[in-house]
Amino acid sequence: MTLTPWIIISIAVLLLLFALVFIFLINRKKFPRREPDYYVWFWIGIVWIIIGIPLVISENNFGIFAIGILFTILGLVHKKEWKKNHIKYKDLTPLEKKIKFWVMLILGIFILAFVSWFLIFV
């Protein structure tokens, strides 16, 4: 029996728990509601397009590439709102800075774990 399904299930459960904690914090009114940052959406789309191009070429998988196109188009459609909705790190509250740090740390650990798993087992 392989461990791969259990690893995927455990990562999904951890991400779900992480999302539930984040939703709980938002509903406690500690975070101000903000409009979407379309500038960031644009750059996420560009990165996903860059990551998706090798997948399209090697595996004929258009998923990440297509989502990258959608994010980029959505960001460009709302280009007039880039300056209005863009939030810089210095404008965040201390609580938001702390949560941003932990989110980036946890995502970094997930990426490191995935790359390690990929290099060991694939």
Distances (CA, A) of 93 to 89, 98, 99, 108: 9, 9, 10, 22
User: Quick one: pLDDT at residue 13?
Assistant: 85
Backbone φ/ψ region at 79: left (φ over 0), alpha (ψ -120 to 50), beta: alpha
d(CA 65, CA 83): 26
What pLDDT band is residue 69 in, cutting at 50, 70 and 90? Answer: very high
The model's pTM is 0.61
What pLDDT band is residue 3 in, cutting at 50, 70 and 90? Answer: low
d(CA 19, CA 10): 14
Sequence ranges of the domains in the chain: 35-86, 88-122
Give residue-wise pLDDT tens across range 21-41. 777 776 666 666 677 888 989
